[in-house]
Homo-oligomer: A and B are copies of this chain.
Amino acid sequence: MSLLAVGSVAFDEVETPFGKCEKMLGGSASHFSISASYFTDVRLVAVVGGDFGAEERDVFATHGIDTSDLECIPEGKTFRWRGRYDYDLNVAHTLDTQLNVFAEFKPKLSEAAKKSRLLFLGNIQPDLQREVREQVPNAELVALDTMNLWIGSTRESLQKTIECVDVMIINDAEARQLTDIPNLIKAARKILSWGPKALVVKRGEYGAALFTKDNYFAIPAYPLEAVFDPTGAGDTFAGGFMGYLASQEALDEAAMRRAMIFGSVMASFNVEEFGTERVKRLTPDEINTRFRTFKQMTHFEEIPFARTVVSSQ
């Protein structure tokens, strides 16, 4: 298998200034897998309850996502999250969280899963992330996501997990919180000093940046006139990033730079509708069209200046 993703599968209930949606497929692993499925084969490790039905499973099946490692606890209930966004769509207000079967989630990897080439450790407790990472020792590239909750409550364990991954993917506020360094460039150097060879920093409407030991790469966000629902944008970005990398032979910086663009493209689609609605019905052409737009909107000719005075006519 090409790409293995561990994380949450959930039912989300989201309210924004533009509408409301009840019981839609959500969770980090769902957004990630659907996004990545456009680029490569994906296998999902997560847990759901007896209320996870045929409709939701069908979304995964349609996208060729391998759910052999999706554990089901028939007597339990699937993780539920209820949240609200006001006009500042950058801030999610959590109204209710019911961990349900996710509270006792212990990822179990099949033998096939352990042979994955790339591994994405979605946002779960850092000890669990490390246990999964250790079960895929031959992965060519392991990427890690986390959230402010784990930075606050399990910092030491999180740092140990960071030490054993190749790429860390977080947002700018998390990078600052994790390092206690307000300057993002310095914060990034600190995180790279712990082990990862690359750090991806998501900056919402301002784009994203890729830090490596010797280089810096930064891109704007795709210009959107309206953001409808930002839920899952980060995981959708990670899905595009990791899915694209899994489709490439060479996992070098040039590939990572293109992966940053594909991640941003997927995230830009994600926020246009509720949940996974927009991303789940994409076409490769739509994805490549936005990829090309990124090239157009960042291109300039590399012509150094020489002082000149052009006179008026």
Contacts and interface: CB of A to CB of B under 8 A. Distances in A.
Interface of A: 1-2, 38-41, 87, 115-117, 138, 140, 182-186, 203, 205-207, 209, 215-220, 223-227, 244, 246-249, 254, 257-258, 260-262, 284, 287-288, 291-292, 295-313
B307 A247 contact: yes
Contacts of A227: 183
Given A209-B220, A218-B207, A309 B40 contact: yes
Nearest to A136: B312
Given A207-B218, A291-B304, A302-B295, A311 B117 contact: yes
Copies per complex? 2
Interface centre among A182, A292, A296, A302 (most CB of B within 10 A): A302
A225 B183 contact: yes
A38 to B, nearest CB: 7
B304 A225 contact: no
B209 A254 contact: no
Contact of A220 (B207, B287, B296): B207
A312 B4 CA distance: 12
26 contacts: A1-B312, A2-B309, A2-B310, A40-B310, A115-B312, A116-B312, A117-B310, A138-B312, A185-B224, A185-B225, A215-B297, A217-B298, A217-B299, A218-B298, A220-B220, A244-B305, A246-B309, A247-B305, A247-B308, A254-B300, A254-B301, A257-B300, A258-B301, A284-B306, A287-B305, A291-B302
A2 B207 CA distance: 36
Nearest to A221: B218
Given A183-B225, A206-B206, A219 B298 contact: yes
A97 B207 CA distance: 37
Nearest to A251: B310
A170 to B, nearest CB: 17
Contact of A219 (B40, B220, B287, B305): B220
Given A40-B307, A185-B223, A291-B302, 18 more contacts: A38-B307, A39-B305, A138-B312, A140-B312, A183-B227, A185-B225, A206-B206, A209-B220, A215-B297, A217-B297, A218-B297, A219-B300, A244-B305, A257-B299, A257-B300, A257-B301, A258-B301, A284-B307
Contacts of A203: 206
Contacts of A288: 304-305
A298 B2 CA distance: 29
A310 B248 contact: yes
B218 A220 contact: yes
